[in-house]
Amino acid sequence: MIQVLLVFAMLAVVVTRLQYEQKIQVERAYQSLTLSQAQAYLNSIEDFARVVLKMEPDLSQAKTDHFGDYWNEGVPLDYNGAEMYVKANDLQGRFNVNWLHPSAPNREAATQGFKRLLIHLQLDPAIADELKDWFDSDSNALFNYSDLDPAYRPSFEPMADVSEMKLLKSVDAKERKGDDNITDYEKLAPYLSALPPDTPLNINTASEPVFMTLASFISEQDAQSFVSERDSKDNGYTSTSEVTDTQVFQQNPNGRILIDQLTVESHWFDVYSQVTLNDRTYIRESTIHRTSESALVTRRTQAITEANTAPGDASQGSQGGQLPTPGQSIPGLGNALGGTGAKTE
């Protein structure tokens, strides 16, 4: 009798273990399928963003890029039970940290412009000097970080991502402070980009603090005036001379111009894609370089939590600008998603 009970007990243990393993395998397969579907949706809405960015210059009468363009409208979508959201953000309206690289056209002036931005944000202007040394192979920066754990050395190459600013000793990325309870890096990062050193600044998407980096004589009031006038126009500024020929510049002929690479159009964008599927949310950030012939993805990351919206963007804190109405078809999205069409929520 005891032997029979022992056999039944062993069988019960084996069956329980098999059931547990089966449950694990089923859940693993389910999660794998969900992840594959989510990645497919992320790829599709990224492709949709590329199509919109590529088509925008052809659809716009004014050859400019500004916050009123369709690419700046956050678009919520609902497709086959998946809730999606996509928004593009202009990277050329921000201060390019690689303007301080030795290969940049006007490095010294850009350093002074960066200091103006730091002072306006109540951050240490020494960050600009350290960044300049970080890029300079002739500086003493090679061993400045050997005492850290882990130790590292600067590459002396242009930064590929703004997050590399965290490597600078003068940039505090850990201690939260102030009324906003944010780190120095979190305060600074929204105003920065990491683009090729010769990339010009788009005055149509530049924020007030970034406008102040253009010249040593531009006050906060002047910057506010530039932004206000720009935002009152349907297509923003159509020429850089609308800024450089203003009274502010004409009254300061001997004033120092710090950022002289200006434009009214953009070629570098950050695309935020979000998919919610089976109660799980998946996020991707893609950097897209748009030319007259293509819109290519140069970088992807999923190590983010929210859209990289620029300060001063009219859609900041909302789901974009003028969104399509519920049930309205999104042109071109059907082909991108491999179906006949998609509709908004």
User: pLDDT digits over 204-239, tens only?
Assistant: 999 999 999 999 999 999 999 999 999 999 889 999
Q: What's the pLDDT at 20?
A: 81
Tell me the pLDDT band of 333, cut-offs 50, 70 and 90.
very low
Give the H or E element holding residue 135: helix 126-135
Considering only the top CATH level, what class is 34-91+266-337? alpha beta
Helix (H, G, I), strand (E, B) or coil at 74: coil
Other CB atoms within a 10 A radius of the CB of residue 335 amount to 14
Tell me the pLDDT band of 332, cut-offs 50, 70 and 90.
very low
Q: What's the pLDDT at 33?
A: 85
Q: Domain ranges in the chain?
A: 34-91+266-337, 95-263
If 0-12 CB within 10 Å is exposed, 13-18 middle and 19+ buried, where does residue 67 land?
buried
Q: What's the pLDDT at 263?
A: 96
Instruction: Answer for the pair 203, 237: CB distance below 8 angstroms, yes or no.
Output: yes
pLDDT higher than 60, residue 330: no
The rounded mean pLDDT for the chain is 85
Give the H or E element holding residue 75: strand 75-79
Distance CA 116, CA 206 (A): 15
pLDDT digits 0-9 by tens, 261-274 = 999 999 999 999 99
Instruction: Answer for the pair 275, 45: CB distance below 8 angstroms, yes or no.
Output: yes
Which of 195, 192, 217, 194 is closest to 207 using CA atoms? 192
Q: What percent of the chain has pLDDT over 70?
A: 88
Which of 315, 137, 114 is closest to 231 using CA atoms? 315
φ, ψ at 301 (rounded to 5°): -155, 150
pLDDT digits 0-9 by tens, 252-301 = 876 778 888 999 999 999 999 999 998 889 999 999 999 988 899 999 99
Residue 263, beta-bridge partner list: 202
| Out of 31-40, 226-235, 315-324, least confident range | 315-324
pLDDT digits 0-9 by tens, 169-188 = 999 888 887 767 889 999 99
Pairing mode, strands 95-96 and 280-290: unpaired
- Residue 13: HSE in the Cβ half-sphere, 13 Å Cα cutoff: 6
| CATH 1.10.40.60 correct for 95-263 | yes
